[in-house]
Amino acid sequence: MQTADVEEARKLKQIHVNAALLKEQLMSEKARADRAEASLAEIADIQVRLKELELELQAWRDMVGQIPGVEGRDDVLRKLRELQR
């Protein structure tokens, strides 16, 4: 009977160890999922900011395109110097 009790105790101990390991893995995966969700939110914010910057860049390109003799940013400085004379 004592051997059966020892075996039962070993089984219970192993179940406890397995439960602790599973709990640790669960917490680790939860933390990983939380980080992934935070990254997704950050990516969404970055995409919004990128869209804003693309629109601003297009506005600048449209404005520069309306200045005669200006095709790029270097031409803007040259044109400003010409206008200051």
62 neighbors 54 (Cβ within 8 angstroms): no
Q: pTM, whole model, 2 decimals? A: 0.58
Q: What is the DSSP letter of 66?
A: T
**What are the residue ranges of helices labelled H in the chain?**
2-65, 73-84
pLDDT of 1: 67
At 16-53, the pLDDT tens digits run 999 999 999 999 999 999 999 999 999 999 999 999 99
Indicate the residue type of 61: R
C-alpha dihedral over 70, 71, 77, 81, to 10 degrees? -20
How many structural domains does the chain have? Answer: 1
Range of the structural domain that residue 22 is part of: 2-84
Let me know: does 69 contact 79? Beta carbons within 8 Å: yes
